[in-house]
């Protein structure tokens, strides 16, 4: 552990205060209600909003597909992209893209993605929301070393002090196998390297992964050009156009973590959608399915539409959550989306006169971050899509008085000092298992928090049972793999792990918290 002096401890605490004051223009009585993070302002001029066209990330083609299996190859490499108009930005990208290419997998198809690391640093690939065997789940010490790095570099950062030695390390390339035995859903894949996930995702290592199935396609939800990913990331840019991030070690090789006052989380002032700043999309006056993914390191969004639909009514019909379709559509005035959560919503632009400009707003943002993108309704069309009253069969997980309960407390500090974040008072140790849940046994997991912590569990999704003394909140419906904990909140979920025995993790998906040890490992047992 790094020694933290009393002075640093005080600065850390003040840094957090500064962070939580973000968003208040003075006199805000409860400054911590929105974000646990600190704004890193760009030092390059920001582009005018809604001037860059909306794009959909390219769909990756398999190199082989036969007999219910397919194979993909992805190269992790540096690339220079034009993200801000007229500026050059270096990214670390899957195939050199930000976001990476989208993989579309039919349910039940076995997909092998072979990643080639042509970067200069170790990586780990995790399929977020995937029901994945342990060997392919991207355990944070299962490193993929660059082809050119000297062999023998196993870990850096915290693992030096915790003695983590159990990672399965590959060099150059590594296959990740996904069974896709799970409902159609919007997933995403991203870097998960121990201690350095925050900066590596910030620099570009994230992409979409969609699971489809026929039952879903038969519902006649908006499809084709009217089924669009909306992958939202906030970023900050330096004067030279590069991505700014307050790493202690900008090479990302030895010392993990970020400078004060960013240890509570890093927020940017540029909102990217599918890698473009505040884009604009021309839409038909018809229904669209928007697959909202919050791929930001630490920022929470509360999304609305301005103006609202002509004649009133809720602007969003939520049809899906992290784990796939809801049982029935849910009308939502706003969507609150914490890091790593997904919301599939249908928006009916048929409810607007042609010519209307509709802004996807962010009520939690201030200044440049109070909007995400804009739609311009350009033509009236026949719309054959619909949103049926029944979407999918959702089996509720049954709990009983003797259902095992596990507690997971997410707090700042612990033995590492205020720059660290811990679960049940303990910093992450990749070689220590904190629980041994039995496969096929439903458990209740009780998460509690001091500040905002988006809690994510690998392997199997969960259902929210309670928020505090109430039932599930309005954004808790369906199968979830990430749940937004607000300050001093307790959330109980029912979870049942299936199929795969091995070691997995749960952690905070504020990536600055994750990198500063807010992870815990568990081993599922048959």
Write out the residues near ligand C2O by the rule CB under 6 A: 126, 128, 190, 192, 340, 456, 458, 507, 509
Q: Minimum Å distance from CB 209 to ligand C2O?
A: 11
Of 89 and 321, the one with the shorter C-beta distance to ligand C2O is 321
From the list ligand C2O, Cu ion, none, partner contacted by residue 510 (C-beta under 5 to 8 A by kind): Cu ion
CB neighbourhood size of 147 (10 A): 12
Give the per-residue contact string, 385-424, with Cu ion (x = CB under 5 A; - = no): ----------------------------------------
Which DSSP helix (H) or strand (E) runs through 522?
Answer: strand 519-524
Instruction: Tell me: does residue 453 bind Cu ion (CB under 5 A).
Output: yes
Q: Which is nearer to ligand C2O, 192 or 496 (CB)?
A: 192
Q: Of these partners, Cu ion, ligand C2O, none, which one is at the site of residue 190 (CB under 5 to 8 Å by kind)?
A: ligand C2O
CB of 35 to Cu ion, least distance (A): 11
Residue 274: partners with Cβ closer than 8 Å, 6 or more residues away? 54, 55, 56, 57, 99, 229, 230, 231
Instruction: Name the minimum Å distance from CB 461 to Cu ion.
Output: 20
Sign of CA dihedral 454, 457, 461, 463: negative
Tokens of 427: 């910093």
The least distance separating Cu ion from the CB of residue 379, rounded to whole angstroms, comes to 44
Please tell me the count of residues contacting Cu ion according to CB under 5 A. 4
Q: What residues contact residue 246 under an 8 Å CB cut-off, 6+ apart?
A: 40, 258, 259, 262, 266
- Number of residues written out for the chain: 526
Select the binding partner of residue 467 from Cu ion, ligand C2O, none (C-beta < 5 to 8 A, by kind): none
Residue 412 interacts with, from Cu ion, ligand C2O, none (CB under 5-8 Å by kind): none
Pick the closer one to ligand C2O by CB: 50 or 428: 428
The entry of Cu ion, ligand C2O, none near residue 49 (CB within 5 to 8 angstroms by kind) is: none
- 192 interacts with, out of Cu ion, ligand C2O, none, CB within 5 to 8 A per kind: ligand C2O
Work out what residue 115 binds among Cu ion, ligand C2O, none; the CB cut-off runs from 5 to 8 Å by kind.
none
Question: Tokens 């990756």 appear where?
Answer: 60
Among the listed residues 289, 389, 410, 274, the one whose alpha carbon sits nearest the alpha carbon of residue 343: 289
Q: Does residue 303 contact residue 372 with C-beta atoms inside 8 Å? A: yes
In whole angstroms, the minimum distance from the beta carbon of 235 to ligand C2O comes to: 18
Question: How wide is the angle at C-alpha 390 spanned by C-alphas 386 and 396, nearest 5°?
Answer: 145
* 455 is a contact residue toward Cu ion (CB under 5 A): no
Report how far Cα 65 is from the mean position of its chain's Cα atoms. 29
Which option in ligand C2O, Cu ion, none does residue 456 bind, with CB closer than 5 to 8 A by kind? ligand C2O
Nearest approach in angstroms of CB 134 to ligand C2O is: 13
Least separation in angstroms between residue 300's CB and ligand C2O is 15
CB 107 within 8 A of CB 180: yes
Instruction: Tell which residue, 122, 112, 161, has the closest CA to residue 142.
Output: 122
* Residue 501 neighbours by CB under 8 Å, 6+ apart: 134, 439, 523, 524, 525, 526
CA distance 404 to 279: 47
Closest separation in Å from C-beta 457 to ligand C2O: 9
Of residues 494 through 513, those in contact with Cu ion by CB under 5 A are 508, 510, 513
Residues in contact with Cu ion by the rule CB under 5 A: 453, 508, 510, 513
């Amino acid at each position: 552990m790094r020694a933290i002096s009393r002075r640093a401890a005080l600065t850390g605490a003040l840094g957090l205060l500064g962070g939580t004051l973000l968003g208040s223009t003075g006199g805000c009585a409860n400054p911590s209600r929105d974000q646990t993070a600190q704004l890193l302002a760009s030092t390059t001029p920001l582009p005018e909003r809604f001037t860059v066209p909306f794009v959909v990330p390219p769909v990756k083609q398999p190199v082989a597909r036969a007999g219910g299996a397919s194979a993909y190859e992805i190269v992790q490499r540096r690339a220079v992209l034009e993200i801000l108009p007229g500026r050059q930005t270096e990214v670390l990208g899957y195939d050199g893209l930000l976001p990476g290419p989208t993989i579309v997998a039919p349910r039940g198809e076995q997909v092998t993605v072979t990643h080639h690391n042509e970067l200069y640093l170790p990586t780990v690939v995790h399929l977020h929301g995937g029901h994945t065997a342990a060997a392919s789940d991207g355990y944070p010490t299962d490193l993929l070393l660059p082809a050119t790095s000297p062999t023998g570099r196993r870990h850096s950062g915290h693992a030096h002090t915790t003695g983590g030695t159990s990672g399965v390390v590959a060099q150059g390339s590594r296959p990740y196998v996904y069974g896709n035995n799970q409902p159609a859903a919007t997933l995403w894949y991203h870097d998960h390297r121990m201690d350095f996930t925050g900066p590596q995702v910030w620099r570009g290592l994230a992409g979409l992964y969609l699971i489809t199935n026929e039952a879903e396609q038969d519902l006649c939800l908006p499809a084709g050009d009217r089924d669009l990913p909306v992958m939202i990331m906030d970023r900050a840019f330096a004067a030279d156009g590069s991505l700014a991030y307050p790493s202690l070690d900008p090479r990302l090789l030895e010392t993990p973590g970020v400078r004060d006052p960013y240890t509570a989380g890093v927020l940017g002032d540029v909102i990217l959608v599918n890698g473009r700043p505040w884009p604009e999309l021309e839409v038909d006056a018809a229904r669209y399915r928007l697959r909202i993914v919050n791929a930001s390191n630490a920022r929470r969004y509360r999304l609305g539409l301005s103006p609202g639909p002509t004649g009133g009514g809720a602007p969003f019909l939520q049809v899906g959550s992290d784990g796939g379709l809801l049982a029935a559509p849910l009308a939502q005035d706003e969507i609150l989306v914490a890091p790593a959560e997904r919301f599939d919503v249908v928006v009916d632009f048929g409810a607007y006169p042609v010519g209307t400009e509709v802004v996807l707003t962010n009520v939690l943002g201030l200044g440049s971050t109070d909007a995400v993108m804009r739609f311009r309704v350009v033509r009236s069309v026949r719309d054959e899509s619909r949103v049926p009253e029944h979407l999918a069969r959702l089996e509720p997980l049954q709990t009983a008085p003797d259902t095992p309960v596990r507690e997971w407390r997410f707090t700042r500090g612990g033995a590492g000092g205020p720059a660290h974040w811990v679960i049940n008072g303990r910093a992450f140790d990749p070689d220590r298992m904190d629980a041994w849940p039995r496969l096929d046994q439903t458990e209740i997991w009780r998460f509690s928090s001091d500040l905002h912590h988006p809690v994510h569990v690998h392997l199997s999704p969960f259902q929210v049972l309670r928020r505090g003394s109430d039932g599930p909140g309005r954004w808790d419906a369906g199968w979830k793999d990430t749940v937004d904990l607000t300050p001093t909140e307790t959330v109980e979920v029912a979870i049942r792990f299936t199929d795969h025995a091995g070691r997995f993790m749960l952690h905070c998906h504020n990536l600055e918290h994750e990198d500063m040890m807010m992870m815990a490992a568990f081993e599922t047992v048959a």
